Amino acid sequence: MFPNLTRKMASFFIANGIIPKEEHDVYAYSFEILLATLLNFIGIFIIMLVTKTFCETVFFLSAFLPLRMLVGGYHAKNHIRCFLLLMAIFIGFIFLVKYFPHIYIGVAVFVC
């Protein structure tokens, strides 16, 4: 998603003597993962602000992030697809929590 930008970022750090030249590819990949993760959080934050669902978002992230790190699961072919899938899952979760009767969902209702 950001290969040109992340290569330039790694080259900038090499030019300033912050990282060794041999580790250019490792840092470029690390910056790509960092930017993709930041984009995911920014997308979720924007949706949270628009839908005014702070408590639901905290609940979603507190359940989703550990599962994503520990269990694994589907891996999209690129960062854009991963981002779009995460946004679809989050919007689906918000829709489910806001518009389905809580008795059918089977989760506790948080009062903020």
The structural domain count of the chain equals: 1
Q: Does residue 94 sit within a domain?
A: yes
- pLDDT confidence tier of residue 110, bands split at 50, 70 and 90: low
With CA atoms as reference, report the closest residue to 10 among 80, 40, 22.
22
Q: Is the pLDDT of residue 77 over 70?
A: yes
Q: Does residue 32 sit within a domain?
A: yes
Q: Does residue 110 sit within a domain?
A: no
Q: Is the pLDDT of residue 1 over 70?
A: no
Q: Does residue 70 sit within a domain?
A: yes
The model's pTM: 0.79
The arithmetic mean of pLDDT across residues 94-110, rounded, is 70
- pLDDT confidence tier of residue 92, bands split at 50, 70 and 90: very high
Q: Does residue 112 sit within a domain?
A: no
Q: Which structural domain range is residue 84 located in? A: 3-105
Q: Where are the alpha helices (DSSP H) in the chain?
A: 3-15, 24-51, 54-70, 79-99, 102-105
